[in-house]
Amino acid sequence: MLLQMRQITKTYGNLTANSSVDFSLRQGEIHALVGENGAGKTTLMRILYGMEQPSAGSILLNGNEVTFSNPTDAIRHGIGMVHQHFMLFPSFTVAENIVIGNEPKAGLTFDRKKAITQIEELCAKYRLPIDPRRKVADCPLGLQQRVEILKVLYQGADIIILDEPTGVLTPLEAKELLVIMKSLANLGKSFIIITHKLHEVMEVADRVTVLRDGKMTGTVDANATNIEELSKLMVGRDLKQLKKRDLTVGQTVLQVQNVSILGDKGKPVLDRVNLQVNAGEIVGIAGISGNGQSELIQAISGLQTIDQGDIQLLGKPVRGRSVREIREIGLSHVPEDRYQWGAAKEGTVLENGTMGHHKTKSRSGLLQGKELRNMISGFIQQFQIKAGSQDAKVKFLSGGNLQKLIVARELAQKQPFLIAAEPTRGVDIGAMELIHEELLRKRDEQGAILLVSSELTEILQLSDRILVMYEGRIVGELSASDATEEQISLWMAGGTSNA
């Protein structure tokens, strides 16, 4: 056995993140680690990568016990980690990003020519072609992830940990990554993949270990299980089948007409965008990140001014209004970046859950503490948010648990129009099921929802109509009944079709 983690326990005060967890990895194996938010997956891998120290337990590499006091120790022992959020310098070239920290030298100076040669040889060895002279800023996300993988290979990693590796990739890029993983495994590299996407687990993994509440609930061979069984191991119950009622469309709630926004260099980041969302429907927007979805969301919600066109919410013009005024007209908003737009990291669970509810939960200008705490307790119970207390700072919540708090807060606003941007990013399969149910409930109650998601499965499951954005424009529209993953992926990549 290449790697063994035996009886790993990690406690933080009264909180037990990992409880006597066993995990192993064979050479040339792809081993998936799955579980709900807060199940202990990331903590276990942080211990393996030297970012955390176990409270109890041991790690063995090739039968020899090892300890890692920091990531440098782990790298020295052949363990590398590709984080969910890439750690690259956009203004540097591919070669510079890969060799940084281990640069070849010509005397006392950086030998750029040798670095380029080394990376070309590395790319050829592992069949991962990329131009080492290209700036990372000019690389799509799929290639940026390839740079991250090449970086850990350059460092000599035999064990590669991938944390939510397809979270920001298009479906085509995700499939390409799975092919790369299999190819590298055939060359003897071993992978640990942390993911919520069970269909990818079934496609690429040899074995799967499931954690629930910090404990291991099972390790199974991927070819001897299925998504339903893994889901049950994760959440402790059978998942429900998503039921979607027939569409009953009401009045137009959102109208976007000929909207353009110019970027820094005068090129439109939104280019004459037209769309509408009616009461009782979910309109999904698919597209590779960076093709205008963020700017569209910000224009509608008042976070960015538009240079041309008009936006109306419930018949009232939005252009020139403040965020507060637009929300008071009838908008609630699950933002795509929970940390930048959705939460105050230094604030408590109570304070973050209260945002937007302060007017309805106040009397004579005074917040009603008991009502607020009862409301937040309802959020925590309904969405199974794992938090030490309502007075705990949200920066100590896992990303998935913070996401559930934000979704609960915004759905509770009960506004006529909801922007749901990446509503299930980083959440586990049980929470995803609940969020999807709540979005459909809002739709069935004649709410209007604009769903922006990088998850095509989510777009296809929930949407009544699907729009595709590419380079700031709407390049295609399909009804849910006519939509296919292949057609949407083609439009997302800038292709055209007669479909």
79 within 8 A of 49, measured Cβ to Cβ: yes
Q: How far apart are CA 236 and CA 230, in angstroms?
A: 10
Comparing C-alpha atoms, which of 354, 456, 350, 338 is closest to residue 402?
Answer: 338
52 within 8 A of 17, measured Cβ to Cβ: no
As its CATH architecture, domain 3-235 has 3-Layer(aba) Sandwich (3.40)
Beta pairing, strands 448-452 & 362-363: unpaired
Domain residue spans of the chain:
3-235, 252-492
Q: Which residues pair with 326 in a beta bridge?
A: none
Close Cβ partners of 64 (under 8 Å, ≥ 6 residues apart):
none
Total length of the chain = 499
Instruction: Note the pLDDT of residue 32.
Output: 96
Residue 349 vs residues 85, 357, 392, 415, 441: alpha-carbon distances, Å: 24, 14, 6, 22, 25
Q: Give the helix/strand (H/E) hosting 438.
A: helix 429-444
For helices 429-444 and 369-383, what crossing angle results, to 10°? 120
Query: C-alpha dihedral over 159, 426, 353, 13, to 10 degrees?
Result: -20
What is the CATH superfamily name and number for domain 252-492?
Answer: P-loop containing nucleotide triphosphate hydrolases (3.40.50.300)
Comparing C-alpha atoms, which of 283, 265, 275 is closest to residue 299?
Answer: 275
Regarding pTM above 0.85, the answer is no
Question: What's the token pair of residue 40?
Answer: 């202990």
DSSP 118: H
Instruction: Note the pLDDT of residue 497.
Output: 56
Residue showing tokens 């404990």 = 215
Residue 266 CA, distance from chain mean position: 30
Q: First-to-last CA distance in the chain?
A: 51
- 401-439 pLDDT, tens digit each: 899 999 999 999 999 999 999 998 877 778 888 899 999
Q: Is 251 helix (H, G, I), strand (E, B) or coil?
A: coil
Q: Is 468 helix (H, G, I), strand (E, B) or coil?
A: strand
Residue 484 CA, distance from chain mean position: 22
Q: How far apart are CA 164 and CA 168, in angstroms?
A: 9
Question: Are 3-235 and 252-492 the same fold in CATH?
Answer: yes
Q: Is 223 helix (H, G, I), strand (E, B) or coil?
A: helix
Phi, psi (5° rounding) for residue 478? -140, 150
Residues of the chain with pLDDT under 50: 498-499
Work out the burial of residue 111: count CB atoms within 10 Å of its CB; fewer than 13 is exposed, 13-18 middle, 19 or more buried. Answer: middle
Comparing C-alpha atoms, which of 418, 411, 358 is closest to residue 382?
Answer: 411
Residue 96 vs residues 44, 54, 91, 123, 293: alpha-carbon distances, Å: 31, 34, 10, 14, 31
Instruction: Note the pLDDT of residue 499.
Output: 44
